[in-house]
Structure 1
Amino acid sequence: MSVGKRLFQYALLFKKNIFIGLLMLALAVAADLAGPFVAKRMIDSNILGIEKTWFETMNHGGDTVEYQNKWYKRKDHFAAGEKRGSEARILQINRDYYFIAGPISFDGERKVKDGNVVITNKGKSETYNASKLSRKELFAFYAPEIFGVLKLLGIYFGLLVLACFFQYGQRYMLQVSANLVIKKIRQDVFRQIQRVPITYFDNQPAGKIVSRVTNDTEAIKELFVNVLANFFTGMITIAGILIALFILDVRLATVCLVIIPILIIWVKVYRKFASKYNHMIRSRLSDINGMINESIQGMTIIQAFRRQKETTEEFEKLNNEYCTYQNKMLSLNSLTNHNLVNVLRNLSFVAVIWYFGGASLGAGTAISLGVLYAFVDYLNRLFQPISGIANQLAQLEQSLVSAERVFVLLDEPGVDVAKEPIQRYRGNVVFENVSFSYDEGENVLKNISIEAKQGETVALVGHTGSGKSSIMNLLFRFYDVKEGRILIDGVDIMKMSKQTLRQHMGIVLQDPFLFTGTIYSNVSLDDPSISRERAEKALKDVGAWDFINSLPNGLDEAVIEKGSTLSSGQRQLISFARALAFDPAILILDEATANIDTETEAIIQEALNVVKRGRTTFIIAHRLSTIKNADQILVLDHGEIVEQGNHDTLMEKEGRYYQMYQLQQGKTKKAVG
């Protein structure tokens, strides 16, 4: 499905608001476009209407004018069937007005000669006795139109008020709808981030994902708030103006239709180049965000190894590429948008005034001056929405490219969050001939078979890359088994949803992660089932309560990003308490004591002897001294279990585990000595 169709589907979710907004937009355009019609009537009927035919009348009403002891009324003011007297005309010649007591045979070029009015047209000439009107007399003939002019001005003002009201309404409704659409898209994007597998985050830098959720959705917001609002307004306005032009004069409107194919060709050519540039712009912006995020996370390493200059140069390279494509977009916009609109506007004005204007300004006109005024007004209004659309084309392309990037994320395969409750595990875990590889090629786990019974503690040891963490990743279904199967209480974990599987499992990582909030919110993760008393008990069980109690706000002490104000040992203790507060049936400790000092390790070891009772515990161990009491110790090498047994059994074998233990003990003794 195309990007445009998917955006349209999102818009349909709030179609009621959008429909009301578009209806108000149509009314606003109609009220606004009625103005020139009012002006046309004012010019043709009230201002230039003085040259219409006048007749003598016996009535002395408000529409009559006294001149030389006779009363006259304009032809269009007579009621049906009302008696008319002799005909008279008033003609304007230059800036003066002349009264002719009688009809004229034809109109044409007018001149005054010897006090008479001479009219010439196509070789024919007629001379009429005429009287020049004084200002007072001229005003008397205009006086009947004053009320009509004021009435039309009132209508004009009323239309402006209505147009302003509907403009406000349509803009408000469309922007509210746009905000709701963006809110929905952001919710879907963030929900999708929770659905995608861990492998997605392995291949995508965090900064680029953040850019999708923030920068790209913000660009889509501009599409709905500004671009589509301008496009809708522009298209409705253009359609209304073209209808008005055809009502005024078919010939003039037909001339203006030439603009439409020019605009269509222009938009297609523009989008061809703009799309390429905007893809590069959004890509480079995403790369910049990714690098900034990575630099902030690794600032300690950058400064420690004096890589500031090289990092800055790498950033400047990306920034220069971003700037280069931005400048290309600016050049494209400058070349096409304002320039082309202005050229089309000027050519249209020249064509209309040259072809039709001269005739309207003279006698025997094919069109009235009011029609020409209204037409020029509409023509000027026609290019306002065209200019608005042109100015938004760049933003349109940026928004479409951003939407395409967002939809790529939304189309990633994921798993819906499932919250159906299941009975707490007993904790019997079996790996049956499990093999696994992250990428096609050599397996990182080869034919692994493990059986952990309820309440047992199983320790995994081995060199870096031996497959210890991969076993835990499979048990948690961060990754799925390629060969073999994993059973919990006799049930294949592949037959359970990932969220259901993890419901009675807890994990503590080597590098604990704390969220912005409080200590209590980090232990409970805002789960309403975890009360303050339960969180407090978990902290006491892991030996963290002493340092928590010493903090000014205790459980409510603020925690900033990643818990950077706490020591690594304190963060790890909170991470332990978090796992225990959820009372898992299966507990996984992934190098959980690697970054903890000896004193804190002793506290945790004592707490673990209490909390692991009744739980199946898997420990990925770096310090072999911490797993001496494990029920099973599995020694891995290149994805295979090479030794298995408890501490005493493995020490008696004097194999790989024995060598590792002796090596660590030897280092310890050397350091002490």
Structure 2
Amino acid sequence: MNVGKKLFKYVLYYKKSFIGALCLLLLMVAAELSGPLIAKQLIDRHILGIEKPWYETREPGENTVTYKGKYYKRGDYFNEQEEKGQEVRILQVQRQFVFVPEAVKVDGERLVQGEQLIIKRNAETGTYPAEILSTRDLFLFYEPELGKIVNLILLYFGFVAAASLLEYGQTYALQVSSNRVIQKMRIDVLKQIHRIPIPYFDRIPAGRIVSFVTNDTEAVKELFVTVLRNFFTGAVYITGILTALFILDVRLALICTLIIPALAGWIYLYQKFASKYSQTIRSTLSDINGLINEAIQCMPVIRAFSRQRTVRQEFEDKNVRYFTYSNKLLTLKALTSNNLVTVLRSLALTAIIWYFGGAALSGQSVFTFGMIFAFVEYVERLFQPLVGMVNQLAQLNHSLVSAERVFRLMEEEGSDVKDEETPRLKGNVKFEHVSFAYSDDHYVLRDISFEAKQGQTIAFVGHTGSGKSSIMNVLLRFYELQKGTVTIDGHNIQTLSRQQVRKQIGIVLQEPFLFTGTIASNISLDNPAISRELIEDSLRAVGAERVLQHLPKGLDEPVIEKGSTLSVGQKQLISFARALAYNTPVLILDEATSNIDTETEGMIQSALEVLKKGRTTFVIAHRLSTIHHADLILVMDRGQIAERGNHDELMRQRGIYYQMYQLQMRDRANVPV
């Protein structure tokens, strides 16, 4: 699995936004990195530039200075047509400036003795006449530079302001783009969850799947928002800084480029050791989510059987494992990131000292103070993105591991959810020599054959594990059969999409599930084709109106998770109304009355009679008294149909059904009133 390529495909969905953010980033880096170059220009040309050669000129003009009745202009301000007069120099000696009325041939250690300037350089010594300049006279020579200095300062702050605005723009653009990527990724994950076959959910705890959708995608978001931003910014910064260093001095810039392979090697080593820690951390976090989800759903059972201590111990074990590996990753980060920055900074500063110091000691230094300032400033700035990149290595590893887990879910085989217009079938269902196994060759259904015609009621009875629910799972295509065929009105369900098959089938479960919302939304399931009037008619038809009329808000009464504020009978009646509103030709009742009290059972039975009219109904029965009037009863035993017939026929056979019926009647007769 190439996680990088898959992430890049998501980036391509919003490439314009990312390209825009990258362009803003490039402009921001250019604005920020222009600062040292402006400072170099300011120092070398306009502040220390006063020490450059000056020449007498005959006429005053722009950039000229009047000193003791004569006009002087700096040599770099002369154009080709202008004639240069006597060369003079302005030199700094410690904290004073002196005027030298002639050219200076030697530069080195400076000393003023009386009215003479002595310059020593190794064995060579030069002596020149000199006048100490007052502050007022010195200002005369700086006056032509003041406007240029102010302009450069304003330009510098202009770039700083522009960099701040550009940073805001690129941060905002990158955040928006990243949020869009994660939004699409979460939608895709949810779509994939709907595509994945039901057996997948038998293997993976619900809490772990929730962790995929929430925690792991959030970690991927951090990859775009924080990690990649730091790495992209760092890469652009480093490229820009190295470019500026090459402009200043090629040899020292080449030395600084050694940082790049050192950083790459360090990242490789870090990833090698950190990846296994991150895998364990993310997996353990998913297990913790799964345990918490299970504990919340089973809280009544946990308290009833006093399993709080056991659950707490299981949670503590996983929590300790998460804590241990998180600490290992933090230790690895602490041992690498700060050390890496310190080592690289020390190497860079050593190179600068060796290079500039060596040139100065050899007497061959051609470096200006502005260049040295710019070089040191750039090298210092070089470590800011390095620190940011190294500090994000742990998050990078977490994000990549999370992305891998998300994409592993996305790669699970599934079928697309198709919103197809399917004509309503009559409901003639036929099983022909169907065999089915949940795994390998352990068949739970063996050579099942029967036919249910429109309007008939087919009941399935048998002991637990005999295959009753498996028949319904095959009919609904929750699982795919291995042998035989199942048809509805002659259409092989294998040739139809799962949605086409399920649109023909309504289902009422033993434990009806209600979604968070209202009673009305739980009947329509927010299907726009089901009107308010149809909802009311469905409730009235199954007799639920009398049971629900006492609720303060009626159909708009809020329903919290799993409908825990409603009784079992109320939830079951809402499920019946839902099945009736969807008006499917085939109806499955999965032990729909097994959890109903005797008083409510009569009302439920009346609702069932309304619900079954004109429909092919499959009943998985626990109470045999509820299926007396079934057209066909199939007695399941170890995955096979052991007996078949209506109630009277099976009673006459005195087989399995007869024994089950007699046992239930005896138990009911012995129940004290």
**TM-score tier (shorter):** over 0.9
Shift in Å at residue 62 of structure 1?
Answer: 4.5
- Equivalent residue, structure 1, for 2:541: 541
Q: Matches of 1:481 and 1:365 in 2, distance apart? A: 86
Q: Matches of 2:489 and 2:136 in 1, distance apart? A: 110
What does 1:8-407 correspond to in 2, within 5 Å? 8-357=8-357, 359=359, 365-407=365-407
Q: Secondary structure at the match of 1:441?
A: coil
Q: For 1:217-272, what per-residue CA distance to the aligned partner results, in whole angstroms no more than 9, with x for missing partners?
A: 00000011111111111111110110000001112211211111111110100110
Q: Matches of 2:258 and 2:362 in 1, distance apart? A: 27
- Equivalent residue, structure 1, for 2:517: 517
| Matched AA of 2:168 | Y
- Equivalent residue, structure 2, for 1:480: 480
Q: Matches of 2:417 and 2:148 in 1, distance apart? A: 70
Q: Matches of 1:11 and 1:610 in 2, distance apart? A: 54
Moved more, 599-608 or 288-297: 599-608
Task: Indicate if the aligned counterparts of 2:182 and 2:217 stay in contact, CA closer than 8 A.
Answer: yes
Q: Matches of 1:582 and 1:418 in 2, distance apart? A: 18
Shift in Å at residue 601 of structure 1?
Answer: 1.4
Moved more, 662-671 or 349-358: 349-358
Shift in Å at residue 541 of structure 1?
Answer: 1.7
Q: Matches of 1:163 and 1:495 in 2, distance apart? A: 61
Q: Matches of 1:570 and 1:299 in 2, distance apart? A: 23
Q: Matches of 1:68 and 1:365 in 2, distance apart? A: 35
Q: Matches of 1:572 and 1:56 in 2, distance apart? A: 107
- Equivalent residue, structure 2, for 1:467: 467
Decide whether aligned partners of structure 1 residues 28 and 389 sit closer, same or farther in structure 2, where only a CA change above 3 A counts: same
| Matched AA of 1:270 | Y
Q: Matches of 2:442 and 2:45 in 1, distance apart? A: 91
Task: Indicate if the aligned counterparts of 2:431 and 2:451 stay in contact, CA closer than 8 A.
Answer: yes
Shift in Å at residue 114 of structure 1?
Answer: 4.1
Verify: 1:580 aligned to 2:601, yes or no. no
Q: Secondary structure at the match of 1:7?
A: helix
| Matched AA of 2:272 | K
What does 1:545-556 correspond to in 2, within 5 Å? 545-556=545-556
Q: Secondary structure at the match of 2:420?
A: coil
Task: Indicate if the aligned counterparts of 2:542 and 2:610 stay in contact, CA closer than 8 A.
Answer: no
Q: Secondary structure at the match of 1:112?
A: strand
Task: Indicate if the aligned counterparts of 2:31 and 2:159 stay in contact, CA closer than 8 A.
Answer: yes
Q: Matches of 1:91 and 1:61 in 2, distance apart? A: 23
Task: Indicate if the aligned counterparts of 1:109 and 1:362 stay in contact, CA closer than 8 A.
Answer: no
- Equivalent residue, structure 1, for 2:451: 451
Q: Matches of 1:614 and 1:321 in 2, distance apart? A: 58
Task: Indicate if the aligned counterparts of 1:54 and 1:74 stay in contact, CA closer than 8 A.
Answer: yes
Q: Secondary structure at the match of 2:671?
A: helix
Moved more, 473-482 or 76-85: 76-85
Q: Where does structure 2 lack aligned partners over 5 or more consecutive residues?
A: none
Q: Secondary structure at the match of 1:365?
A: coil
Q: Matches of 2:398 and 2:562 in 1, distance apart? A: 34
- Equivalent residue, structure 2, for 1:493: 493
Shift in Å at residue 113 of structure 1?
Answer: 3.1
Q: Secondary structure at the match of 1:72?
A: strand
Shift in Å at residue 364 of structure 1?
Answer: 6.1
Q: Matches of 1:217 and 1:360 in 2, distance apart? A: 56
Task: Indicate if the aligned counterparts of 1:108 and 1:364 stay in contact, CA closer than 8 A.
Answer: no
Q: Secondary structure at the match of 1:119?
A: strand
Moved more, 464-473 or 132-141: 132-141
Moved more, 465-474 or 85-94: 85-94
Q: Secondary structure at the match of 1:55?
A: strand
Q: For 1:603-650, what per-residue CA distance to the aligned partner results, in whole angstroms no more than 9, with x for missing partners?
A: 121122222121000000000100111011111111111111111111
Q: Matches of 2:20 and 2:650 in 1, distance apart? A: 77
Decide whether aligned partners of structure 1 residues 361 and 559 sit closer, same or farther in structure 2, where only a CA change above 3 A counts: farther
| Matched AA of 2:423 | Q
Q: Matches of 1:392 and 1:129 in 2, distance apart? A: 62
Task: Indicate if the aligned counterparts of 1:361 and 1:369 stay in contact, CA closer than 8 A.
Answer: no
Shift in Å at residue 338 of structure 1?
Answer: 2.4
| Matched AA of 2:646 | N
- Equivalent residue, structure 2, for 1:625: 625
Q: Where does structure 1 lack aligned partners over 5 or more consecutive residues?
A: none
Verify: 1:665 aligned to 2:665, yes or no. yes
Decide whether aligned partners of structure 1 residues 141 and 353 sit closer, same or farther in structure 2, where only a CA change above 3 A counts: same
Task: Indicate if the aligned counterparts of 1:357 and 1:372 stay in contact, CA closer than 8 A.
Answer: no
Shift in Å at residue 83 of structure 1?
Answer: 2.2
Q: Matches of 2:199 and 2:267 in 1, distance apart? A: 41
Q: Matches of 2:418 and 2:132 in 1, distance apart? A: 94
Shift in Å at residue 28 of structure 1?
Answer: 0.9
Task: Indicate if the aligned counterparts of 1:227 and 1:392 stay in contact, CA closer than 8 A.
Answer: yes
Q: Matches of 2:333 and 2:517 in 1, distance apart? A: 46
Q: For 1:111-137, what per-residue CA distance to the aligned partner results, in whole angstroms no more than 9, with x for missing partners?
A: 223431112223121111111112221
Task: Indicate if the aligned counterparts of 1:635 and 1:642 stay in contact, CA closer than 8 A.
Answer: yes
- Equivalent residue, structure 1, for 2:417: 417
Shift in Å at residue 501 of structure 1?
Answer: 0.7
Task: Indicate if the aligned counterparts of 1:107 and 1:364 stay in contact, CA closer than 8 A.
Answer: no
Q: Secondary structure at the match of 1:444?
A: strand
Decide whether aligned partners of structure 1 residues 603 and 621 sit closer, same or farther in structure 2, where only a CA change above 3 A counts: same
| Matched AA of 1:529 | A
| Matched AA of 1:304 | A
Q: Matches of 1:40 and 1:491 in 2, distance apart? A: 83
Shift in Å at residue 392 of structure 1?
Answer: 1.1
Q: Secondary structure at the match of 2:443?
A: coil
What does 1:591-630 correspond to in 2, within 5 Å? 591-630=591-630
Q: For 1:321-348, what per-residue CA distance to the aligned partner results, in whole angstroms no more than 9, with x for missing partners?
A: 0000100111111111123113311331
Moved more, 203-212 or 387-396: 387-396
- Equivalent residue, structure 2, for 1:442: 442
Q: Matches of 2:490 and 2:97 in 1, distance apart? A: 109
Q: Matches of 1:546 and 1:57 in 2, distance apart? A: 112
Q: Secondary structure at the match of 1:199?
A: helix
Q: For 1:58-97, what per-residue CA distance to the aligned partner results, in whole angstroms no more than 9, with x for missing partners?
A: 2223422222222211111223311222110111121111
| Matched AA of 2:503 | Q
Q: For 1:403-451, what per-residue CA distance to the aligned partner results, in whole angstroms no more than 9, with x for missing partners?
A: 0000011000001011222221111111111111111133111111111
Q: Secondary structure at the match of 1:671?
A: coil
* TM-score where L is the length of structure 2: 0.98
Q: CA RMSD in A?
A: 1.4
- Equivalent residue, structure 2, for 1:5: 5
Q: Secondary structure at the match of 2:549?
A: helix
Q: Secondary structure at the match of 2:104?
A: coil
Q: Secondary structure at the match of 1:512?
A: coil
Q: For 1:462-486, what per-residue CA distance to the aligned partner results, in whole angstroms no more than 9, with x for missing partners?
A: 0100100000100111111111111
Task: Indicate if the aligned counterparts of 2:456 and 2:631 stay in contact, CA closer than 8 A.
Answer: yes
Q: Matches of 2:643 and 2:155 in 1, distance apart? A: 96
* TM-score where L is the length of structure 1: 0.98
| Matched AA of 2:421 | P
Q: Secondary structure at the match of 1:71?
A: strand
